[in-house]
Structures are given as C-alpha cells and as structure tokens.
Amino acid sequence: MKKETQFLWGGAISAAQSEGNYLADGRQPSNFDYLPLDDRRLKAVYKNQADSILASIGDEIYPGRNGNDFYHHYREDIGLLKELGVNSFRFSISWSRIFPTGEEEQPNEAGLKFYEDLLTELEKQQMEPIVTLSHFEIPIQLVKKYNGWEDRKVIDFFLHYGKTVMTRFKERIKYWIPFNEMNMVLHIPFIGGGILFEEGKDNLSMQYQAGHHQLLANALIIQAGKEIDPANQFGAMLAAGKTYAYTCDPKDVFAALQQERENLLFSDVQVFGEYPKFFAHYIVEKNLKLRIDQEDDEILKKNTVDFVSFSYYSSACTAAEESGIDRVATNGYTTLRNPYLPKGKSVWQDDPLGLRITLNQLQDRYHKPLFIVENGIGTQDEFADGKVQDDYRIHYLRGHIKNMLLAVEEDGIELMGYLMWGIIDLPSVSEGKISKRYGVIYVDQDDQNKGTHQRYKKDSFAFYQKIILSNGAVVFE
Ligand code: BG6
C-alpha cells in the first residue's frame, strides 16, 4: 500500500463484551447484561417471558456482566496493542456507565473518568480512538419503561448522553460511530434495539420503528457533534457481506437483490439522507405501521455520515425457493450454505474474496470513504504452555487482508483502515462464550468466567505485527 496514506491498522472491542464489572462505580445494567449463556440469547424476547430473563436470579451466567475484565486490564491491554504496532483502537462507551438509568440529568463522573483514563492511555501510546456510542447497549431501565428504541423519547436520552461525551472528550476523539450494526435491529431486536416483542402485536412494524428512531438519533448526534467540534467525523456502521444469488436463475438474482436492499436500508438512509424508493412499496407490502414525521425527513436529509464503516465476517447466499438447501449460521442470522466456499475452521463460511466484492459494492453504491471496523475469525483455540498455535487465524488474516489490499491497489477503493475484531478474546454475542475466540491476544478465562484473566500472545500476534510493520506487504509473500 502507498506509504503516504494514513492507514489505520488496529483492533476493535465493545464495552459490553469486554469491560465486565457491570455494577462498578455507579454503573447500572444494560440489556446486554441480561443475555444468558444459552440459545435464548439471539431470539426475540417476548414481554411475557421477559420476567425470567430480566429477573436475574439463580446461578445463571450472564457473559456481558464479566466481559474479559478490560475494566481492570485496559492499561496492560493497550500496552500489548502498542507492542503489536497498531495505530488505532475501536471501543464503545457503555451508556449506562455514563447515565446509569438513561434518564439522569447529570452524568456519572466515575464513568466518564474511566473513559478519560482510557483515552489518556491511548494518547500516550499514540493510538487513534474510534468510538462507538451504542454497541448493542441501552440502559435496562429504558427497556423496562419505554420498550427501548420503540419509543421516540429514547432519542432525547441518547442525545443527552451523546452530547455529554462529545463535549467532555472534545478534540480527543475524532471518529464516532453512533450505532454498531444498525441493521441488526431487524435480526436480533432485543440486542440491537432493546425491544421486547408482544404476542399479537405488530412486531415487524416495531422493529422498523425502532430502526427509524435510531436513524433520527444518528442524524441528531451528527448535527450536535459537528456543532461541538466541526472536525468530528461520523460513520454509518453496518453488518455487511455481499448477498450472492444461489444460482444465475433470474429469480434467485432478484431474491438476492431484495435481501440486499433490506440489509442496506439503514446505511442507505445514513448516506443519502432519505429512505430508498423501494421502501414506500415495502411499507405497503408488509403492511408496516410507521410514524415518520415531516420534520424527520429534514433531519435525516441534513445530517448524513462522513464515512461508511462495516463489519465483514462472511458473505450470504439466497434463492427464490430455499427449501431443501442446507443452511449455515452467519453473523446474527442463518443463510444458505455456499457450495463454492471450502469448510474452514469456523462454522461461519470464510470468503476472503467476498471482502473485496463487498468493498467494491459499498464504494459503488455510497461513494464515501470506507472503513473495515470488524473482521476476524471466532474459533476454539487450544492453549498449552502459555501458547496458542492458531495457524487458521493466520490463514484467515492473510486471505482477507490480501483481498482488502487488492481492492485498494487494483480497484481504487478509498479505505480508511482495517480493525481486527475481538483483538483481545471476549465473549461472543451469538454464543455468549469466550471459548469462541477472536483475538490475537488470549485471555485465560473459560465460559463460566473462571480463570486468571491473564493475557498471552497467540502465534497470530506475531503475524499481525508483521502485517502492520510491512503495511500489508507480508500477506503477498
Ligand atoms: C458483530 C458484532 O456483529 O459480530 C460484535 O458487532 C460481535 O459485537 C461480532 O462479537 C462477532 O459475532 P459473535 O456472535 O461471534 O460474537
């Protein structure tokens, strides 16, 4: 890659999956802290079952409450990342550390102090912070009282939170991502929107309404953020991955197009400042009941994003008639198994060329700088004698980074950076298990939260270090 480009090589984590210490220093729980360690995690939570999930009783393990103890290990972690050579680090601020119930007037000083100290550490190590305001988190009181993002009032609470941190950390944070993977509210509504479903209610409309409120909140954060500091840059963030047609039958191609535009709906609005044309028909077809006020159009139009960030783990595959075709899990939902992709170490299908295709697709559509803010492989690792020989992760990194660099060099993609996801092992969102590991840094902790939390460098650590040092060249050797 060209040396003069200010490419951001880094790693990413979220507060909910890393910090732990969920009641420390005045914090109160968020939706994420109520996700149990079983397959209820990804399901829509219904109001009538919510009591058992929100009761927080018994010996159940709630991985969000433990994270990987980043709250106490952040200095050491940033030190290790410095040794790795990264020049940037993405983390999220936990809303309920700053406003424990979401409704306070005054912020929790201890919460602000934690992030202030973290920023000081990053500045010392010359790392650019990339900060997400809501990475699958909303204070639980806002879930119980307002049904999360279903209620328009939540926009004001979020704005108050956003303005508070953007003012406090003015000139210390330039890159902001108001919401992580906004399109996830359509797949994992309790995690993505803090909303509880109700039997007999129009839950699909509720999901889109919550999404609309997040879009408004995103736009108002941009408006406020630019007033606070015009140098602030804001990014859309979507769970990306090109949707392929299962065959070249035009019916399959059309099915893929339809799935794709649903997936890109929120980022379309964030970039273009308006809903795409198809959505008016979609509303009628699905009989969606949405409240979109006239003033909303103006707010969305005036406050669009500066860049488009995304996570990429795999591509997806769809057909007009899907019955009888094998399915496979991917990020937050299931998709058709792509017969052209070899079986990798992870359950999710690896598709390194899919990253290049996705980069091209997003640039063609959005004409904005792109930013890969999550990519990585979640697998079981074998830890012995302080070592992890994760050649599969090295293989994954090589393939994906090679395709990313080809996209930049040969396809003219304008790319701000590459952040490896879960750079320090953390509990997975879908499984809740830390035994599904993403990091180049191993954390001595098991799924029951037993262990010393000590950090170790995996073999992939040295490889990613070489990638950064050579500005990518090593992946072509
Ligand atoms: C992304 C999320 O969807 O995928 C992360 O932003 C998440 O928070 C990552 O960890 C990987 O998914 P999972 O389910 O393996 O943790």
Q: What is the pLDDT of residue 65?
A: 92
Mutate to test the pocket of ligand 1, among 19, 372, 421 (most ligand atoms within 8 A of CB): 421
The reply to whether ligand 1 has any atom less than 6 angstroms from the CB of 346 is no
Opening angle at CA 287, ends 285 and 293, nearest 5: 110
Residue nearest to atom 2 of ligand 1 (CA): 429
The reply to whether ligand 1 has any atom less than 6 angstroms from the CB of 429 is yes
Give the integer Cα–Cα distance in Å for 177 and 191: 17
Residue nearest to atom 4 of ligand 1 (CA): 331
Give the integer Cα–Cα distance in Å for 353 and 365: 18
Instruction: Kindly give the distance from the C-alpha atom of residue 309 to the centroid of ligand 1, in angstroms, as a whole number.
Output: 15
**Region class of 85: left (phi > 0), else alpha (psi between -120 and 50), else beta:** left
Q: What is the pLDDT of residue 37?
A: 85
Instruction: Kindly give the distance from the C-alpha atom of residue 420 to the centroid of ligand 1, in angstroms, as a whole number.
Output: 12
Instruction: Kindly give the distance from the C-alpha atom of residue 376 to the centroid of ligand 1, in angstroms, as a whole number.
Output: 10
Query: Hey, what are 400's tokens?
Result: 């994906």
Q: Which atom of ligand 1 is nearest to the CA of 311?
A: 1
Residue nearest to atom 8 of ligand 1 (CA): 429
Q: What is the pLDDT of residue 55?
A: 64
Instruction: Kindly give the distance from the C-alpha atom of residue 136 to the centroid of ligand 1, in angstroms, as a whole number.
Output: 10
Instruction: Kindly give the distance from the C-alpha atom of residue 476 to the centroid of ligand 1, in angstroms, as a whole number.
Output: 28
The reply to whether ligand 1 has any atom less than 6 angstroms from the CB of 260 is no
Q: Which atom of ligand 1 is nearest to the CA of 180?
A: 6
Instruction: Kindly give the distance from the C-alpha atom of residue 331 to the centroid of ligand 1, in angstroms, as a whole number.
Output: 7
Q: What is the pLDDT of residue 48?
A: 74
Give the integer Cα–Cα distance in Å for 77 and 81: 6
* pTM of the full structure: 0.97
- Of 137, 150, 181, 260, the active-site residue reads 181
The reply to whether ligand 1 has any atom less than 6 angstroms from the CB of 237 is no
Contacts (Cβ under 8 Å, ≥6 apart) of 85 = 9, 465, 468, 469
CB 40 within 8 A of CB 196: no
* Closest by CA position to 209, among listed 160, 263, 153: 153
Give the integer Cα–Cα distance in Å for 189 and 148: 10
Alpha-carbon distances, residue 158 vs 70, 96, 134, 292, 316 (angstroms): 24, 11, 9, 19, 32
Q: Which atom of ligand 1 is nearest to the CA of 181?
A: 6
The reply to whether ligand 1 has any atom less than 6 angstroms from the CB of 331 is yes
Residue nearest to atom 7 of ligand 1 (CA): 429
Residue by residue, what is the 3-state secondary structure of 156-179? Answer: HHHHHHHHHHHHHCCCCCCEEEEE
Give the integer Cα–Cα distance in Å for 278 and 231: 34
Opening angle at CA 36, ends 32 and 41, nearest 5: 75
Instruction: Kindly give the distance from the C-alpha atom of residue 429 to the centroid of ligand 1, in angstroms, as a whole number.
Output: 5
Mutate to test the pocket of ligand 1, among 186, 311, 396 (most ligand atoms within 8 A of CB): 311
Instruction: Kindly give the distance from the C-alpha atom of residue 281 to the centroid of ligand 1, in angstroms, as a whole number.
Output: 32
Listed in order, strand segments (DSSP E) in 387-433 are: 387-388, 415-421
The reply to whether ligand 1 has any atom less than 6 angstroms from the CB of 18 is no
Let me know how long the chain is: 477
Does the annotation mark 374 as catalytic? yes
Number of other residues whose CB lies within 10 A of the CB of residue 389: 14
Residue nearest to atom 16 of ligand 1 (CA): 428
- Of 128, 137, 150, 374, the active-site residue reads 374
Q: What sign for the dihedral angle of Cα 327, 343, 244, 185?
A: positive
pLDDT, tens digit only, all 477 positions of the chain: 554 558 999 999 999 999 999 999 999 999 999 988 887 788 888 887 776 666 655 567 889 899 999 999 999 999 999 999 999 999 999 999 999 999 999 999 999 999 999 999 999 999 999 999 999 999 999 999 999 999 999 999 999 999 999 999 999 999 999 999 999 999 999 999 999 999 899 999 999 999 999 999 999 999 999 999 999 999 999 999 999 999 999 999 999 999 999 999 999 999 999 999 999 999 999 999 999 999 999 999 999 999 999 999 999 999 999 999 999 988 888 999 999 998 888 889 999 999 999 999 999 999 999 999 999 999 999 999 999 999 999 999 999 999 999 999 999 999 999 999 999 999 999 999 999 999 999 999 999 999 999 999 999 999 999 999 999 999 999
Number of other residues whose CB lies within 10 A of the CB of residue 226: 16
Q: Which atom of ligand 1 is nearest to the CA of 428?
A: 16
